[in-house]
């Protein structure tokens, strides 16, 4: 893969601010994904979530449950570590956009099963997609390593 593309994906701000978004967002998303995939934390697991998704018109339900759960679980873990932050944030943001469509008819407020929670998670994801993982991320570590290789002439990628 072209090293410029890799560097642009991994390049990030040097601020620590993304860390304060990444950790709680990643925890919440991974936990919700674990509910869907494994039935942890009071969730219904893949089968139960798949049946529910099919009942609201997301067919095939099992596949939709797997995609939503995987996006939340693996995307959340990636965000916690700041690993491929931008791609992970795009996946989690898209997942939350779909979640908003499920809750849209209930209005904004969570008390009525509205979309406000998904909206907040969507824009936290968008924020990370824009700024990257920050100073304390694996993205920054890998990017620094790649830059040091290119500066000392050991980068052979075109």
Neighbours of 124 (CB within 10 A): 22
Q: Is residue 2 part of a domain?
A: no
- Closest to 77 measured CA to CA, from 115, 36, 22: 22
Cα(51)–Cα(27) distance, integer angstroms: 25
Asked if residue 2 has pLDDT above 80, the reply is no
Ramachandran quadrant class, 15 (left: phi over 0; alpha: psi -120 to 50; beta: rest) = beta
Asked if residue 72 has pLDDT above 90, the reply is yes
pLDDT tens figures, 92-122: 999 999 999 999 999 999 999 999 999 999 9
Q: Is residue 73 part of a domain?
A: yes
Q: Where are the alpha helices (DSSP H) in 39-135?
A: 45-55, 61-81, 85-103, 116-131
3-state secondary structure of 124: helix
Q: Is residue 96 part of a domain?
A: yes
pLDDT at 151: 62
Q: Is residue 31 part of a domain?
A: yes
Domain that holds residue 65: 18-147
Asked if residue 157 has pLDDT above 60, the reply is no
Q: Is residue 130 part of a domain?
A: yes
Number of domains the chain is built from: 1
Q: Is residue 12 part of a domain?
A: no
Whole-number average pLDDT of the chain: 92
- Closest to 85 measured CA to CA, from 144, 155, 26: 26
What pTM value is reported for the model?
Answer: 0.86
Q: Is residue 65 part of a domain?
A: yes
Confidence of residue 1 (pLDDT cuts 50, 70, 90): low
């Amino acid at each position: 893969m072209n090293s410029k593309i890799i560097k642009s994906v991994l390049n990030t701000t040097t601020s620590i601010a993304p860390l304060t978004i990444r950790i709680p967002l990643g925890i919440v998303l991974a936990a919700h994904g674990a509910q869907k995939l494994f039935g942890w934390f009071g969730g219904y697991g893949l089968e139960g979530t798949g049946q529910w998704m099919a009942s609201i018109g997301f067919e095939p339900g099992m596949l939709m449950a797997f995609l939503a759960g995987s996006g939340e679980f693996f995307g959340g873990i990636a965000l916690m570590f700041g690993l491929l932050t931008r791609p992970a944030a795009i996946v989690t943001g898209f997942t939350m956009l779909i979640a908003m469509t499920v809750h849209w008819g209930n209005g904004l407020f969570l008390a009525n099963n509205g979309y406000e929670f998904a909206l907040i998670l969507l824009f936290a994801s968008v924020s990370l997609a824009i700024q990257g993982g920050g100073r304390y991320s694996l993205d920054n570590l890998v990017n620094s390593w790649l830059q040091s290789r290119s500066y000392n002439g050991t980068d052979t990628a075109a």
